Amino acid sequence: METRNLLLIFFLLSGVYQQTAAQGKNNYPETFPEILVHFKPYNHNPVFAGTNINTWDRKIRERGYILYENGVYRMWYTGYNNEKSERHLGYATSDDGINWKRYSDQPIYDSGWVEDMSVIKVNDTYYMFAEGRNDIAHILTSQDGIQWNEAGNIDIRKVDGTPIDKGAYGTPTVWFENNTWYLFYERGDLGIWLATSKDTKTWTNVQDVPVLAMGPSKYDKFAVAMNQVIKYNGLYYGYYHASDTKEWKEWTTNVAVSKDLIHWTKYEHNPIMMYDRSSGIIVNNGKEYRMYTMHPQVNLFLPASN
């Protein structure tokens, strides 16, 4: 009788353990840590915006990008005066990530359309991947992050080596690891594709269908586009914006996790930012992870645990 009771307890505990493990697998509590998904708004948002006067950057839009380097926050952003204006590249810096100073009252690059950019530094070179006119992604390079040179449109091929179908391909987001470049891009915000390259000259899809698709939940049923990829504790986190309406009336910021940059699991509590807080990116200043949503103005979100 005593042995039977021990066996019964053992099997009951085994069942509880298996059930808990299964729930953990489904909910991914350990793969979506608090510091990467839970934030609270800074009390005096926005921290940066268009000038609202008759300047080249009276308005700002789309994804800007922030790097934290040597104790300085460096922000690149897209400015424009009116809907007919060409989109140009602006630059601002901050010592605390809250109070920003424009580098100049003029664009730092006005030789072409620059919008929705991401910036990465590899070795001694800064690479900017951005949308150009008609949402065609292109690359710029710089040695200091201020003086930029055009490097041409991004050449993306299908798995079989033929060019991707004609049309827009935008919101380029890049990750670099083990001498390989990984490019996430969207086509009409109808999915997120992934292409790789060894030299940034030619890119090849890892598959000819999205690695992150729309839906099935309502919050990202009608649009998705990657904003940033980071790596934390051996896993990749993709922050993306999405919309739950065909008209794209409002955007949200969301996150998904991956072990290989190809297969992604969406956070079950998405969105992590609502009410048109889109183009969200994470900035690690060495002490904490902050989130900035970049469109249509820059809002700061601090760790919820602070």
Q: How far apart are CA 210 and CA 185, in angstroms?
A: 9
Q: How far apart are CA 62 and CA 261, in angstroms?
A: 24
- Give residue-wise pLDDT tens across range 201-227: 999 999 999 999 999 999 999 999 999
Tokens matching residue 15: 């069942």
Predicted confidence band of residue 16 (pLDDT cuts 50, 70, 90): very low
DSSP label of 134: G
| Res 18: pLDDT | 34
Q: According to CATH, what is the number of the domain 40-303?
A: 2.115.10.20
| Res 293: pLDDT | 96
Mean pLDDT (the chain) is 91
Tokens matching residue 64: 């800007």
| Res 21: pLDDT | 32
Beta strand extents in 158-217 (DSSP E only): 170-177, 180-186, 192-197, 202-205
Annotate 23-51 with DSSP letters as a single string: HHHHH-TTTS-HHHH-EEE-TT--SB---
Q: How far apart are CA 247 and CA 221, in angstroms?
A: 12
Helix, strand or coil, per DSSP, at residue 71: coil
* Cα R_g (the chain), whole angstroms: 21
Q: To 5 degrees, how large is the angle CA 141–CA 295–CA 231? A: 60
Q: Where are the domains of the chain?
A: 40-303
Average pLDDT over residues 237-264: 96
Average pLDDT over residues 91-120: 98
Is it the case that residue 15 has pLDDT exceeding 70?
no
Q: Which residues pair with 284 in a beta bridge?
A: 289
Q: How far apart are CA 8 and CA 239, in angstroms?
A: 46
DSSP label of 100: -
Q: How far apart are CA 110 and CA 147, in angstroms?
A: 11
- Give residue-wise pLDDT tens across range 131-158: 999 999 999 999 999 999 999 999 999 9
| Sheet of 101-102, strands arranged across | 59-69, 72-80, 88-94, 101-102
Average pLDDT over residues 105-122: 97
Is it the case that residue 11 has pLDDT exceeding 50?
no
| Res 6: pLDDT | 40
What is the share, in percent, of the chain residues with pLDDT greater than 90?
Answer: 87
- Give residue-wise pLDDT tens across range 61-74: 999 999 999 999 99
Alpha helices by DSSP H, the chain: 2-27, 34-37
Predicted confidence band of residue 265 (pLDDT cuts 50, 70, 90): very high
Q: How far apart are CA 214 and CA 80, in angstroms?
A: 30
Q: Which of 31, 17, 28, 91 is nearest to 235 (CA)?
A: 31
Predicted confidence band of residue 13 (pLDDT cuts 50, 70, 90): very low
